[in-house]
Structure 1
Amino acid sequence: MLTNPVLISVILMMVLCLLRFNVMFAILVSAVVAGLVGGINLENTISTFINGMSGNLETALSYILLGILAAAISYTNLTTILINKISNFISHKKIYFILTLALIACCSQNLVPIHIAFIPILIPPLLPLMNKMKIDRRAVACALTFGLKAPYISLPVGFGLIFFGIIQKEMSNNGITVSIQDISSVMWMGAIPMIIGLILAIIVYRKPREYKDIESSMPKNLDDISMTLHEWGALVGIIVAFIVQIVYSSLPLGALLGIIAMMITGGIKYNKMEEVFDKGFAIMGFIAFVMLVASGYGTILRETGGISELVNAVATIAGGKLGGAILMLVIGLLVTMGIGSSFGTIPIIAAIYCPLCVQLGFDTPSIIMLIAIAAALGDAGSPASDSTLGPTSGLNFDGQHNHIYDTCVPTFIFYNIPLLIFGTIFAMIL
């Protein structure tokens, strides 16, 4: 058991991530160690790893194209205009304000899939308004993280379609065939603990909190901004991307046609095209490569032959379905906390969890739930996660919001704990 290549490799990966090594480097080193400990020579290890990377090519392409889409939108005033219109109605209602930010964040994952790119554009102009309303920014951090996480867990649209697609592919790679419809019929339940966590966060952080108004952080007057041909062109691209991904169930195709529509209608200016594409790669390029190496890592873990040994050992330790469910979710929490990506975690844990769940007697819906929740656990609360880095990037614009204590700790408490509890319950009753 202690010499199991999968166990040694996963522990090494977690330790490297917790020591703040680069995530992609940590996965690469752990993959090589898994291969060598598993008796695969270095040349074959690298070859197997590279071949395994092809499993997430579609996902990586989706991330790159969405990054370009997000970059194009960031060059317009669309999000600023939207929040200016909304703020006229909610400027004196704290709860409505926080819930509206959560809704806008949800749209960034599904309706307009630009991920965290909207936060540094949209949140800084709102800080003076938040200060005036004496809103505790920890509540806003929880609202933004909710919007960045709950939609992809529960809805097969935008990033949710990517998340569900990875689950489908990795379960198939490990002997369990499911469809996107099978996953969506189960994972809508994943939104329940997230909603509960959001409500609790708003209640706990409802008391007024004072912040200083810093003039240098004040952006230009929102009332002077209006829709131009540039904004209308970007809006056309967004609509095209959304419709295409719904009709054809293909996020890469939707994003590609959305970008083309922006070029045709002026949403992306010709003289800014290279700049937009470069920024798009900067936004999503690294995440795309993490997805590729994570897929290669999952392939290496399967090729070592150590999974079956580990499955038998964990099944014995678990002592039954309840213990197994709790153990798998806790392991998922630790892995995702280290990696910082739910999407990158799936290929790693699916290789172990699929055979383990079968041995423990879980049905397919329960296996879907365990893999999805185990991957999602830790996305909130991880210092390296986009779901926490994004909110901090906007809320700390004036230097008054701490990443660890004002974003990571609150989101960990209000989302990971409910997900762990409800994930266990759902896995047992499905």
Structure 2
Amino acid sequence: MLTLVDTNNEVAYVTPDDEAERQAEVDHYQILDTLPEEEFESLVELAAIITGSPISLMNILDHDRQWSKAVFGDESGQSILRSESVCQYTIMKDENFEIEDLSKDERFMNMSYVEGNPKYRSYSGYPLITPEGYRVGALCVLDTKPKKLDESQKKSLKTLANEIMARLELRSKQRQLERLNKEKDLFLRAVNHDIKSPINGIISSAHYLQNLWDGEKEELFEILSMIEISGHKLINYTSELMSNAMFQSDSKLHLDNVAIDELIKDLIHIYTPLAKSKNVDLKLNCNTPVSFRLDNEKFKLILSNLVSNALKFSTKGDTIIINADISSKSTRELRCSVTDTGIGIPEEFLPTLFEKNKNHQRQGTQGEISTGIGLPLVKQFVELHKGSIRVNSKKGQGTTFNVSIPEHKEMQ
């Protein structure tokens, strides 16, 4: 389908239906207005040689202009209005676009490059197509006399256009890799800093107890408390790191028959020492005597995040209740809830609570760290199970998370 775009003070030009996405891909490759480069100029020259054409160009179609990255045999400039270009039609389809005589085509017969110098007559171009199928530009050849390319020449033009696109894609991947390496370096520095601190505290305290301490029980209690707090910080931090890594990865379910009651009891056992250290009461109401088919590790992470969050934002005298039961409908459903009487969630957080948002990063009641990734990950894994999650919270009065997951009968 041809769509005419009015450029206000210029002739309209045609655009494909996916123009917005196409333009985003143009911007993604970061090729516009860059300096000439031998690797592209050599391919453009080869296109001219193979097709017996005096002129060849590698063109990128921007918002309202055509910009030439590489040019052979034409000194007229690197940029023209998109409304004046022939390549605007080349990017409309995934095939060769050819005009035997531009002077006889009403779309181009009055263009300056046809009426005046260099008096172009023939044009043949093939689109530069991204792996996602967007046409960001074209490789084209022109001549000052009317002509048509034979099938072998058209095939060669297509091959060279694909090679140009492959090199653009390789550059994009290289930039992405460089960016990831920079992020990795920053990440490792942060990890190094954040993990060293509690580890050094544990090591120095242990050394002191083993070799130097001979004081009162009160001092011993303070040292042991510091070791305990440092250990909890390490647990919280490594949990956040694991959650972040899992959030970034592509996920699929690995289904198994899971004993839900045992899984939850094991999880509660892990968090009991932390609950005791904060003087928080953990209660469990579990009515899941039969196995249930789901992804064991992902469900464990769902529940672990919810319990960890409840503990993080609870304080002395608070209570956390974990409820779980399996409905007896035709399609069985696991229903779990985690309720706490802690500090609650600010009302302004609730609309975007399950989105990755730096503004959601809050310290726990004892300074526990948070990256804001836990709840988005929980939602991702719940929805991967075709389930749902709801939250009710009031600041200063506590929070309840309700999770429902249908049973998966088929293995994935």
- TM range, normalised to the smaller chain? under 0.3
More strand by share: 2
Higher relative contact order (CA 8 A, sep 6+): 1
Give the TM-score normalised by structure 2. Answer: 0.22
Larger proportion of helix: 1
